[in-house]
Chains A and B, each alone.
Chain A
Amino acid sequence: MKNRIKELRARLKMTQEELAFRSGVRRETIVFLEQGKYNPSLKLAHDVALALGSHIEELFIFEKGD
């Protein structure tokens, strides 16, 4: 599963720490999310999307085999 977290975060000039705080997770989790190494729960995906002023379907790109 790919995502556009880094891109949207950069557009908003938001730090990983800030996004982590707004999403209710640790910064390390944001790092893993951005690298595509962690699949978030539906709630976290929603919270991250909300923090970035976006929607889940815009933020996370599901591909065949995910």
Chain B
Amino acid sequence: MTLEEYKKVRWAFVVVVSVIFSQTIYYKNYFIPIAVLLVASLVHLYLRRQVKEILADERDYALAGRSALMTLQVYSWIAVVAMFIFYALRDINPSYEPIGMALAFSTCLLLLINAFIFHFINRVRFSDKKLIYSALLLALFAALFVAGIRGLSGEDDWICEDGQWVQHGNPDFPAPETLCK
């Protein structure tokens, strides 16, 4: 496969995956997007291997590193400012509060992931214990995946029914204080 063909296939692939993602989330199905994400990653890896030409070299990687760092900084600033605005406006609309909270936590999570990956690459690149570190990373991803599926499954939660919060499963947190409509 030539580089041009690969680029075209990748564009088509992105469109198809985006449509599946948006449609399944719209219909409140969260398992299909996770499965699609996994399959898409594998197919993308396969496609990359089919290209005989050079897709990226050291200059691209250097630029990618710098752009990733700048993206992190720009996103963090935007998210933090937006978070304060949403928090300030929570009396106007209560739904602004969770949005602000999601932005704040997403920034923390992003910075944590960045720090973790940086230290992981740093250790792995200069270490003889590549297999152990890779196994640890795989175990961590597996744990996160399981936790994510459990979180999205809707088990052990409070459900709003006829104006009252009804226990579903065994949630380890009290019923929400917000009004159930």
A residues sitting closer than 8 Å to B (CB atoms) are: 20-21, 24-26, 28-29, 32, 38, 40-41, 43-44
Mark out the residues of chain B between 35 and 64 whose CB falls within 8 Å of any chain A CB in the assembled complex.
54, 56-60
In whole angstroms, what is the CA distance A59 to B154 when docked? Answer: 64
Please, which residues of chain B bring their CB within 8 A of the CB of A38?
59
Taking A24-B57, A44-B57, A44-B58 as known contacts, 19 extra A-B pairs with beta carbons closer than 8 A to each other, sorted by chain A number, are A20-B54, A21-B54, A24-B54, A25-B54, A25-B57, A25-B58, A26-B54, A26-B56, A26-B57, A26-B60, A28-B59, A29-B57, A29-B58, A29-B60, A32-B59, A38-B59, A40-B58, A41-B58, A43-B58
Closest to A24 in B: B54
* Residues in chain A near residue B57, CB distance under 8 A: 24-26, 29, 44
Q: How far is the CB of B117 from chain A (nearest CB, A)?
A: 21
B54, B58, B59 — most chain A CB neighbours (10 Å): B59
Hey, which chain B residues are within 8 Å of A28, CB to CB?
A: 59
CA distance A40 to B59 in the complex (A): 8
What residues make up the interface of B, taking CB atoms closer than 8 Å to A?
A: 54, 56-60
Task: Report the nearest A residue to B57, measured CB to CB.
Answer: A25
Separation in Å of the A6 CB from the closest CB of chain B?
17
Q: How far is the CB of B66 from chain A (nearest CB, A)?
A: 13
A20 vs B54: C-alpha distance when bound (angstroms): 9
A52 to B58, CA, bound (A): 19
Within the complex, what minimum Cβ distance (angstroms) separates A21 from chain B? 8
Contacts of A26 in B (CB 8 A): 54, 56-57, 59-60
In angstroms, Cα B60 to Cα A41, docked, is: 13
